[in-house]
A and B are shown apart, each in its own frame.
Chain A
Amino acid sequence: MAEVTLTIDGLQVTVAKGTTVLEAARQAGVFIPTFCHDPELTRFGACRMCIVEIPGMRNLPASCVTEAAEGMVVYTESEAVIEARKTILELMLANHPMDCLTCGKNGECSLQDYAYLYGVKTESFGGEKHAYPLENDNPFIVRDMNKCILCGKCVRACAEIQGKNIVDFAYRGFDAKITPAMDVPLSASECVFCGNCVAVCPVGALQEKGLRSAARTWEVKKVKTTCPYCGTGCSFELNVKDNKVVGVTSCDGDVNGRALCVKGRFGYGFIHHPDRLTNPLIKKNGKFVESSWEEAIGLVAAKLSAIKANYGPDSLAVLSSARCTNEENYLMQKFTRAVLGTNSIDHCARL
């Protein structure tokens, strides 16, 4: 494969031809801030946050859409670059609700991070602000278009990951916004609420309704696990606060990347549902009565043993579970065969 060698902030970097300056910088461990760039999505070059200085080039090119070339010299943090990035941030903040105190994305917001990084404290440009109503009418996603920086990641995620094309840019200039066709809420569109747009949103414009109202971003412990619904085997992170699962976020799954469906991302509420069984139950006179584990296990063991003794092992049968782990299914068939003494074990693979 053809290679090119360029110099980034004094570092010699050799990359495959066709690599962008941004990717080359990242390969070399040089940080360049981005809003609209995502390695899984098409190159967009909209937010201009990743601009760099390349002597010989007109203006400051966006590194995410500029291909590395042989002998190219790149400065990622020159005075001109920093000045431009500050201005970009000031322009974004000029029309941004400064409600970080209560925003669910506080602590996981690129706009906040870069404002901190470049010392942009407040809005330098006064002027008109959007006052879009909060879109809060579905159980999954909260959309606050006042916080949107128009990076277009959600548009590309919907088109290129989910393949649904539900949202796109509408209107022009100051009025430009991301909406489903005909500017209706998501709930009135064909949206399937996979939330893959939420997973790529760099700011607080798209938030998971349950998660962001249950915990601050820094309060959660994230535990990578495998989805309990269909057989696809998507990976995600359970967000845990105070020994409770308060949400699900994407991680880089072997099968799914960051994509999840509505059940995986938003279907975790059953874990703490009040209907969960919390104690063994024994039916006495037709009604369930809570019992200790000792009593329940003792009763089960005695009843199964008695049936086996009186009618033989094949008078017992076991249904194992396509919902339980491998380890549990293994033990269940071991128990059925070695302890009960029958091969009558099955599960719902046929349903």
Chain B
Amino acid sequence: MTNSIKEIAGADFILAIGTNTTESHPIISLQVKKAKRNGATLVVADPRRTEIAELSDIHMQLKSGSDIALLNAMANVIIAEEIWNKEFVSTRTEDFEALKATVAKYTPEYAEGLTGIPADVIREVARGYAKANNATILYTMGITQHICGTHNVFAVANLAMLCGQIGKPSSGVNPLRGQNNVQGACDMGALPNVYTGYQAVTVEDNRGKFAKAWNVGELPAKPGLTVGEMMEAAAEGKVKGMYIMGENPVLSDPDAHHVVHSLEKLDFLVVQDIFLTETAALADVVLPAASFAEKDGTFSNTERRVQRVRKAIDPVGNARADWQIICDVATAMGYTMSYASASEIFDEIASLTPSYAGISYERLEQGGIQWPCPNSGHAGTMYLHKDKFVRGLGKFNPVEYIPPAEQPDNEFPFVLSTGRRHFHYHTGTMTQRTGTLEVHYGTEFLEINPADAAAINVTEGEMIKVKSRRGEVAVQARLTDIVPQGMVFTSFHFPEVAINKLTNSARDPVAKIPELKVCAVKIEKAS
């Protein structure tokens, strides 16, 4: 997030696009509700009529995957009506003319054909966003899990820069991150192309700095494989051994059959987890890890706030903290890795990572700190890009609409989209074992519009088969107009409804994110 969570309450215009905030980020949605009570305008762009869509002033029920057409059309209106922030664009950005040229053809009428949103509504929303004192854009995987995910984010950023709605309180571009420490895992360099703090592995000075700190001769210069590419390489026999810590790609990744096939092909797979997940079941060795309650450490949240995780109990059984296990394996491989505490590891991180340099366990006792925090006297950073962008001028990256990789057709007439439910989390490894959540919400279902259900003679609660070109699952039907006609929706929380057997692994060429929000399916009666 460029802003902080609490700043959302201070926005007077909120565009929530591709985020089911009340279910996936309930506590962040409280700030949206607060803003609304303070008089803010809330616009929600989502194909589904979610709870936050119900709360909105305007719900733009766009066609799945048509976000760029919508965002470009908003930019088109804002430029045509001369309501863009001329001072911001001239002093803080570059390549405005390129954006202007690209969005010229995205008139609201043209976009109406692609998105299904009336041209006048697009105009109204564009004006509201441009003219607001503080407008914020919230998004999640509804923007990113598309083959054009990176371009979707560019389109969001273009709009924010065009209107100068970034770099000030309550006003910015705010991806709401889905996992407790997904921000931290990225910050820490658990990515194939960067070390901590996004220091590129391709830069020789960076390699030299880390090689020296880690006391090794040299470090590899070539960026590594992303998770999807690893699975491809494993299937092709190029990757022979994998070490998976705290992840369950068999359920979370698209095209589950392919993932299983890839992992089975490995010569050696070691999985480190707190449960014997669907992925761990395929391993040669499983290492039992401690849960968050059993170890010290830090998580970095979606607003870049580094906060303490504190050990409350001893690890169950003979489980060990993940950091201790990694040290044990490294040491057994001849590289001595030894730390007395998590705090000592954090100090090493701070010494190598400019954005974390001023943070320490001692300071975190007083409360969380938002990076960048370059030195121990720095209070942390509430919002980013205040006077300048990281690269200097903000660059407009004009982008064109492209349709999703797989479109519904006669054989597979429905669009399937996937997401989360309020009472569960990700692959359900934890929330299916709480004694509470799975008791309350124990069965998954597929949302289908009543008109579509009537057309194929499906009734409420009936078991149906959902099939794509890649696989099928059986699931109960729930007839609801939360989904529009032509679309069905379910979550990936339930192993018995392993919906990622069906999803499409077509990926964004830059971020390599799979298009989990759109694939084509057909529905058949189970019997």
- Chain A residues proximal to chain B, CB less than 8 Å: 138-140, 161-163, 192-194, 209-210, 221, 223-235, 238, 240, 243-245, 254-256, 259-264, 266-273, 275-283, 288, 293, 296-301, 303-305, 307-308, 311, 313-339, 341-351
Given A272-B316, A346-B226: A266 and B287 interface contact (C-beta under 8 Å): no
Return the chain A residue nearest B300 by Cβ. Answer: A326
17 additional A-B pairs beyond A140-B440, A324-B297, beta carbons within 8 Å, are: A223-B312, A225-B308, A225-B310, A226-B299, A233-B299, A269-B435, A273-B434, A278-B318, A296-B285, A320-B247, A322-B182, A339-B337, A343-B193, A346-B227, A349-B179, A351-B227, A351-B514
Are B240 and A315 in touch, CB under 8 angstroms?
Answer: yes
Are B346 and A343 in touch, CB under 8 angstroms?
Answer: no
Q: Which residues of A contact B193 (CB under 8 A)?
A: 343
Q: Which residues of B contact A342 (CB under 8 A)?
A: 220, 224
Q: Is B249 on the interface with A (CB-CB < 8 A)?
A: yes
Q: Which residues of B contact A351 (CB under 8 A)?
A: 145, 227, 252-253, 513-514, 516
Are A307 and B329 in touch, CB under 8 angstroms?
Answer: no
**Contact partner, A301, options B37, B233, B329, Cβ 8 Å:** B329
Are B320 and A293 in touch, CB under 8 angstroms?
Answer: yes
Are B431 and A267 in touch, CB under 8 angstroms?
Answer: yes
Q: Which residues of A contact B337 (CB under 8 A)?
A: 331, 334-335, 339
Q: Render B295-319 as a binary contact track against A, CB cut-off 8 A, 1 for contact.
A: 1111111110111111111101111
**Contact partner, B190, options A283, A303, A333, Cβ 8 Å:** A333
Q: Is B330 on the interface with A (CB-CB < 8 A)?
A: yes
Are B326 and A332 in touch, CB under 8 angstroms?
Answer: yes
Are A277 and B319 in touch, CB under 8 angstroms?
Answer: yes
CA A174 – CA B380 in complex, angstroms? 53
Given A277-B288, A282-B284, A328-B322: A230 and B179 interface contact (C-beta under 8 Å): yes
Nearest-Cβ distance from residue A35 to partner chain B, whole angstroms? 24
Are A326 and B227 in touch, CB under 8 angstroms?
Answer: no
Nearest-Cβ distance from residue A291 to partner chain B, whole angstroms? 8
Are A255 and B313 in touch, CB under 8 angstroms?
Answer: no
Offer 12 A-B interface pairs, CB within 8 angstroms, sorted by A: A255-B6, A275-B276, A276-B275, A278-B316, A278-B319, A281-B285, A297-B329, A304-B333, A316-B239, A325-B309, A343-B220, A344-B239
Q: Which residues of A contact B280 (CB under 8 A)?
A: 277
CA A260 – CA B26 in complex, angstroms? 8
Are A227 and B180 in touch, CB under 8 angstroms?
Answer: yes
Nearest-Cβ distance from residue B346 to partner chain A, whole angstroms? 6
Give residues 209-263 of B contacting A (CB, 8 Å): 210-211, 214, 216, 219-220, 222-228, 230, 233-234, 238-247, 249, 252-253
**Contact partner, B220, options A225, A271, A341, Cβ 8 Å:** A341
**Contact partner, A231, options B182, B310, B328, Cβ 8 Å:** B182
Q: Which residues of A contact B247 (CB under 8 A)?
A: 319-323, 347-348
Return the chain B residue nearest A333 by Cβ. Answer: B189
Given A322-B185, A326-B346, A327-B345: A262 and B224 interface contact (C-beta under 8 Å): no
Are B335 and A333 in touch, CB under 8 angstroms?
Answer: no
CA A341 – CA B334 in complex, angstroms? 13
Are A347 and B274 in touch, CB under 8 angstroms?
Answer: no
Q: Which residues of B contact A268 (CB under 8 A)?
A: 293, 434
Q: Is B25 on the interface with A (CB-CB < 8 A)?
A: yes
Are A210 and B284 in touch, CB under 8 angstroms?
Answer: no
Q: Which residues of B contact A343 (CB under 8 A)?
A: 192-193, 201, 220, 222-224
Are B285 and A138 in touch, CB under 8 angstroms?
Answer: no
Q: Which residues of A contact B516 (CB under 8 A)?
A: 351
Are B182 and A317 in touch, CB under 8 angstroms?
Answer: no
**Contact partner, A325, options B144, B223, B323, B436, Cβ 8 Å:** B323
Q: Is B447 on the interface with A (CB-CB < 8 A)?
A: no
Nearest-Cβ distance from residue B436 to partner chain A, whole angstroms? 4
**Contact partner, A233, options B296, B301, B326, Cβ 8 Å:** B301
Q: Which residues of A contact B512 (CB under 8 A)?
A: 350
Nearest-Cβ distance from residue A269 to partner chain B, whole angstroms? 4
Q: Which residues of A contact B196 (CB under 8 A)?
A: 330, 333
Q: Render B185-216 as a binary contact track against A, CB cut-off 8 A, 1 for contact.
A: 11111111101100001000000001100101
Interface residues of B toward A: which range? 35 or more
CA A327 – CA B341 in complex, angstroms? 10
**Contact partner, A328, options B34, B210, B326, Cβ 8 Å:** B326
Return the chain B residue nearest A267 by Cβ. Answer: B434
Question: Interface-forming stretch among B120-128, B422-430, B454-462, B465-473?
Answer: B422-430
Are B436 and A303 in touch, CB under 8 angstroms?
Answer: no
Given A300-B329, A333-B188, A346-B224: A194 and B514 interface contact (C-beta under 8 Å): no
CA A225 – CA B227 in complex, angstroms? 30
CA A282 – CA B276 in complex, angstroms? 12
CA A209 – CA B247 in complex, angstroms? 31
Are B307 and A226 in touch, CB under 8 angstroms?
Answer: yes
Given A276-B317, A278-B288: A307 and B267 interface contact (C-beta under 8 Å): yes
Q: Is B273 on the interface with A (CB-CB < 8 A)?
A: yes
Given A224-B310, A316-B239: A139 and B316 interface contact (C-beta under 8 Å): no
Are A327 and B190 in touch, CB under 8 angstroms?
Answer: no
Are B190 and A320 in touch, CB under 8 angstroms?
Answer: yes
CA A227 – CA B305 in complex, angstroms? 13
Nearest-Cβ distance from residue B105 to partner chain A, whole angstroms? 31
Return the chain A residue nearest B314 by Cβ. Answer: A243
Return the chain B residue nearest A221 by Cβ. Answer: B312
Are A238 and B293 in touch, CB under 8 angstroms?
Answer: yes
CA A235 – CA B310 in complex, angstroms? 11
Q: Is B83 on the interface with A (CB-CB < 8 A)?
A: no
Are B332 and A297 in touch, CB under 8 angstroms?
Answer: yes
B176, B181, B192, B310: residue with the most chain A Cβ atoms closer than 10 Å: B181
**Contact partner, A332, options B190, B214, B270, B317, Cβ 8 Å:** B190
Are B312 and A231 in touch, CB under 8 angstroms?
Answer: no
**Contact partner, B307, options A235, A297, A307, Cβ 8 Å:** A235
Q: Which residues of B contact A275 (CB under 8 A)?
A: 275-276, 433
Q: Which residues of A contact B183 (CB under 8 A)?
A: 231
**Contact partner, A267, options B244, B296, B311, B436, Cβ 8 Å:** B436
Q: Is B348 on the interface with A (CB-CB < 8 A)?
A: yes
Are B185 and A349 in touch, CB under 8 angstroms?
Answer: yes
Return the chain A residue nearest B315 by Cβ. Answer: A278
**Contact partner, B227, options A226, A229, A282, A319, Cβ 8 Å:** A319
Are A192 and B26 in touch, CB under 8 angstroms?
Answer: yes
Return the chain B residue nearest A239 by Cβ. Answer: B312
Given A275-B276, A297-B332, A351-B253: A325 and B434 interface contact (C-beta under 8 Å): no
Q: Is B439 on the interface with A (CB-CB < 8 A)?
A: yes
Are A319 and B243 in touch, CB under 8 angstroms?
Answer: yes
Are A300 and B287 in touch, CB under 8 angstroms?
Answer: yes
Return the chain A residue nearest B36 by Cβ. Answer: A163
Q: Which residues of A contact B88 (CB under 8 A)?
A: none
Q: Is B184 on the interface with A (CB-CB < 8 A)?
A: yes
**Contact partner, A339, options B186, B224, B335, B430, Cβ 8 Å:** B335
Q: Is B367 on the interface with A (CB-CB < 8 A)?
A: yes
**Contact partner, A269, options B6, B185, B286, B436, Cβ 8 Å:** B436
CA A33 – CA B311 in complex, angstroms? 35
Q: Is B453 on the interface with A (CB-CB < 8 A)?
A: no
Return the chain A residue nearest B432 by Cβ. Answer: A270
Q: Which residues of B contact A278 (CB under 8 A)?
A: 288, 316-319
Q: Which residues of A contact B211 (CB under 8 A)?
A: 338
Q: Which residues of B contact A303 (CB under 8 A)?
A: 241, 267-268, 270, 284-285
Q: Which residues of A contact B245 (CB under 8 A)?
A: 318-321, 324, 328, 332
Given A254-B307, A344-B192: A296 and B287 interface contact (C-beta under 8 Å): yes
CA A238 – CA B293 in complex, angstroms? 8
Q: Is B28 on the interface with A (CB-CB < 8 A)?
A: yes
